[in-house]
Chain A
Amino acid sequence: MIILYAFTTKGNSVLTLQFTFSNFTRFFEDSIFPNVLVRSLRLAFFTTVACIILGYPCAYFISKLNVSKRNMMILLITFPMWTNMLVRTYAWRGLLLNMPISNELKVYIGMIYNFIPFMILQVYTSLAKMDQSLLSASADLGANRFQTFLKVTLPLSLPGVITGITLVFLPAVSSFFIPKLLGGGDYVLIGNLIEHYFVSTGDWNFGSAISLIMAFVILASMYLTKKLDKDVKEAK
């Protein structure tokens, strides 16, 4: 249906279909739209990077705890997920509303907060299932703690990081209500655009075209992460 809408003009019925590429050309002719796309990708990219930087040490720390403390920490991390994402974001809005920080930073805080559990859980799982005797073996062969981390722990946890990237990056590209709620009106992202054309203006054709473009971008980025995953596996 989305594909059908994307390639047709506005206002025709099922009987009088008029195919067109104008929805797509319109997207690329106007520099605003590609800019929004780039901005979305940038937001998703930096959110993902921040999630790795903050989430990895957190997961590493949890995996070193004893079993009962570990389970407690995992529970604490998943606990906020029991409430709706929208509700949580509204809570952040209340918190951040009068803070003297830029809207962009507020959006980042909201994004990272919402997506970091996925990264932590993925990395934690890959760290927790790692055979602890490998660390002993590494020390036995003369590696100090840092070398052991670099040469054993990190490479073995990479698959978890890659799954984490997929789980953070993809929803982050298409998220629209976090930027909308936390970024004030002026932080327009591709998700907001789609929402705008579908809900506000009712231009389903153009909205569909944007969705398709985004779907393509997501597919491309999924392909890239898959490839990265494969390279990691082949590198061993």
Chain B
Amino acid sequence: MKKLIQFKNIVKQFDGQVVLKGINLDIYENEFVTLLGPSGCGKTTLLRILGGFLEQDQGQVIFDGEDITNTPAYKRDINTVFQKYALFPHLNVYDNIAFGLKLKKISKDIIEQKVNRMLSLVGLEGYGKRDVTQLSGGQQQRVAIARALVNEPGVLLLDEPLGALDLKLRKEMQLELKKIQKEVGITFIFVTHDQEEALTMSDKIVVMKNGEIQQIGSPEEIYNEPENEYVARFIGESNIIDGKMIQDYVVEFDEKKYDCVDFGFKENEEVDIVIRPEDIDIVARNHGLLNGEVKSVLFKGVHYEIIVETVSGTSKTVTMHVLGNKDIVNDAAKEKISASDFYLDLEDVDSLNNSEVIARANAQAWDFDNEDISISKVSYNVLNAKGQYPCTFTTANGTSITVTITVVEPVYTEDVNNEEAVQAFDFYKTVDEIKESIALDTDLKRWANATAWSLEDDSRVEIWDVKYDFDEENIVEGDYKITFATKGREFKIHTTDYVEVNAKVGLKFSKEDIHVMSKMGF
């Protein structure tokens, strides 16, 4: 195959922001090439440079052996299908397609022949007289393709042309575009952010990120052997695990060694490991390489998506004291007031203020018509030491309530293996507050002041799981245990076999399914 287009060290900046950081890319004849990446990765910019609508700051574009850097767009043997088609609204379908040919001063009967041939190629015979503004999205798309192809360009550029179509039409057009490309036998350069679209249509995929090429390869190569974590994540759902390459063909993660087919890394090099969800099988406990517990099962149409936790996260259990309602009623002032006892972290004593105390105690006052009344006075005297202290809330009319603030030392659990710690406090709540909660898990986290952090670098870790065994609709007074846990090691598995949530299972995968990648250098 012959090299048709060569990008040589293309650099482009917009307002001092580098959009393309030295792109080198060869594109061959008759290839269906996809530039794949999230928005802002520079893929469209690269396409526009090739189309002649933008000029690169540095580097060369070679087209068919010639440097076309200084060739204006209208002289390039390249045509484009634009994102929103850019059909001329004042021309009908026929005249839109004939636009380029008329400029070339081709005789009328030849134009007619060519346009009609294009109309049948894109399946729009008999649509010539139609107004383009009255066509559906899919039909406009076809007109745009015909308008570009009728000029018989060396390359067709397609700038996210399927973005505006609905899912079903998009799938149809994907196949059709591929068919058209095979039929006319020219190079298509297709820009998209949709990895599935790229995998379906391309001969070659160029994965881009932040103005740099991450990987170039066939769809199979990109999918099965992603070069780094970014490509692996972008190309499909994956389990990506931090691991260590012990030696060639042996990798370790979560304190266990596994055989693999990868080699050529340094000894004990930190690596990323990819295991595709469809490569993992669920087997009976102790019959696989790993054991775990099923956390969730989602039906996805063709398969189930099952999350299995193999290593549990760091957890901390606290007690929730549930009390009955003890509103204080002031008949004289026709007011009611309520507040709860609460626990306070010794470290937070210094930063305590009135609004914080009101929020923590959930102090509220209202009149007999249920209109809220503001609390005008908060009096407390909390010392910087463990112990119990009274706190009184009073309204302007003298209705008041006193609660107890219990100052405690922070207690947290550390998990050395996970390198994480979780901290949470006991707390008091009334039956009503629990029943009124709309997002109970979030409220529980807030009430218990539950936080988790990494022991490695002190960064925040999300509390992933809140476990409790009461029914919030029918809760009564009493003490309840609540456990807050971070996310453990979870595997996403795609399988057609159903398993129950909470089942204890084993996981199995072959050594070919483990893909080891070097860590992305930062």
Contacts from A to B (Cβ < 8 Å): 131, 133-134, 136-144, 147, 151-152, 155-156, 236
User: What residues of chain B lie closer than 8 Å to A136, measured between beta carbons?
Assistant: 51, 53, 73, 80, 82, 86
Contact yes or no, B103 A142, CB < 8 A: yes
B142 to chain A, nearest CB (A): 15
User: What residues of chain B lie closer than 8 Å to A133, measured between beta carbons?
Assistant: 82-84, 86
0/1 string, B451-470, CB within 8 A of A gives 1: 00000000000000000000
Contacts from B to A (Cβ < 8 Å): 51-53, 72-75, 78-80, 82-84, 86-92, 95, 99-100, 103-104, 131, 147-148, 151
Given A131-B86, A156-B89, A236-B91, check contact A138 B52 (CB 8 Å): no
User: What residues of chain A lie closer than 8 Å to B92, measured between beta carbons?
Assistant: 236
Complexed CA–CA distance, A71 and B175 (Å):
46
User: What residues of chain A lie closer than 8 Å to B91, measured between beta carbons?
Assistant: 236
Contact yes or no, B99 A151, CB < 8 A: yes
User: What residues of chain B lie closer than 8 Å to A137, measured between beta carbons?
Assistant: 80, 82, 86-88
Given A147-B103, A152-B88, A156-B89, check contact A141 B82 (CB 8 Å): no
**A133, A142, A236 — which one has the most chain B CB atoms within 10 A of its CB?**
A142
Complexed CA–CA distance, A137 and B100 (Å):
10
- Cβ-closest chain A residue relative to B73: A139
Given A134-B88, A156-B90, A236-B92, check contact A139 B74 (CB 8 Å): yes
Contact yes or no, B88 A140, CB < 8 A: no
Complexed CA–CA distance, A147 and B84 (Å):
22
Complexed CA–CA distance, A143 and B99 (Å):
9
- Cβ-closest chain B residue relative to A236: B90
Contact yes or no, A134 B72, CB < 8 A: no
- Cβ-closest chain B residue relative to A159: B90
- Summarize A's interface: helix, strand, loop or mixed: helix
Selected A-B contacts with CB under 8 Å, 15 pairs: A131-B84, A136-B53, A137-B88, A139-B52, A140-B51, A140-B78, A141-B74, A141-B147, A142-B74, A142-B75, A142-B151, A144-B74, A236-B89, A236-B90, A236-B95
Supply 9 further A-B pairs (C-beta < 8 A) apart from A140-B74, A141-B148. A133-B83, A139-B72, A140-B53, A140-B148, A141-B100, A142-B100, A144-B72, A151-B99, A156-B90
Complexed CA–CA distance, A189 and B200 (Å):
74
Q: Which 8 A-B pairs have the closest CB atoms?
A: A141-B100, A137-B86, A133-B86, A236-B90, A139-B73, A155-B90, A140-B80, A139-B74
Complexed CA–CA distance, A141 and B104 (Å):
10
**A137, A143, A152 — which one has the most chain B CB atoms within 10 A of its CB?**
A137
A134 to chain B, nearest CB (A): 5
User: What residues of chain B lie closer than 8 Å to A152, measured between beta carbons?
Assistant: 88, 90
Q: Contacting B79 at CB < 8 Å: which of A141, A144, A156?
A: A141
Complexed CA–CA distance, A131 and B87 (Å):
10
B384 to chain A, nearest CB (A): 57
User: What residues of chain A lie closer than 8 Å to B74, measured between beta carbons?
Assistant: 139-144
Contact yes or no, B73 A140, CB < 8 A: yes
- Cβ-closest chain A residue relative to B144: A137
- Cβ-closest chain A residue relative to B147: A141
A39 to chain B, nearest CB (A): 37
Complexed CA–CA distance, A139 and B80 (Å):
10
Contact yes or no, A138 B99, CB < 8 A: yes
A150 to chain B, nearest CB (A): 11
B91 to chain A, nearest CB (A): 6
Complexed CA–CA distance, A133 and B82 (Å):
8
**B72, B95, B100, B148 — which one has the most chain A CB atoms within 10 A of its CB?**
B100
Contact yes or no, A141 B99, CB < 8 A: yes
Complexed CA–CA distance, A155 and B99 (Å):
14
User: What residues of chain B lie closer than 8 Å to A156, measured between beta carbons?
Assistant: 88-90
Complexed CA–CA distance, A134 and B84 (Å):
10
User: What residues of chain B lie closer than 8 Å to A138, measured between beta carbons?
Assistant: 88, 99
User: What residues of chain B lie closer than 8 Å to A155, measured between beta carbons?
Assistant: 90
Complexed CA–CA distance, A136 and B103 (Å):
15
User: What residues of chain A lie closer than 8 Å to B51, measured between beta carbons?
Assistant: 136, 140
Complexed CA–CA distance, A141 and B152 (Å):
11
Complexed CA–CA distance, A133 and B104 (Å):
21
User: What residues of chain A lie closer than 8 Å to B79, measured between beta carbons?
Assistant: 140-141
Complexed CA–CA distance, A10 and B53 (Å):
72
User: What residues of chain A lie closer than 8 Å to B72, measured between beta carbons?
Assistant: 139, 144
User: What residues of chain B lie closer than 8 Å to A144, measured between beta carbons?
Assistant: 72, 74
Complexed CA–CA distance, A4 and B109 (Å):
63
B129 to chain A, nearest CB (A): 11
User: What residues of chain B lie closer than 8 Å to A142, measured between beta carbons?
Assistant: 74-75, 100, 103-104, 151
Complexed CA–CA distance, A141 and B143 (Å):
14
Complexed CA–CA distance, A79 and B73 (Å):
40
Contact yes or no, B103 A139, CB < 8 A: no
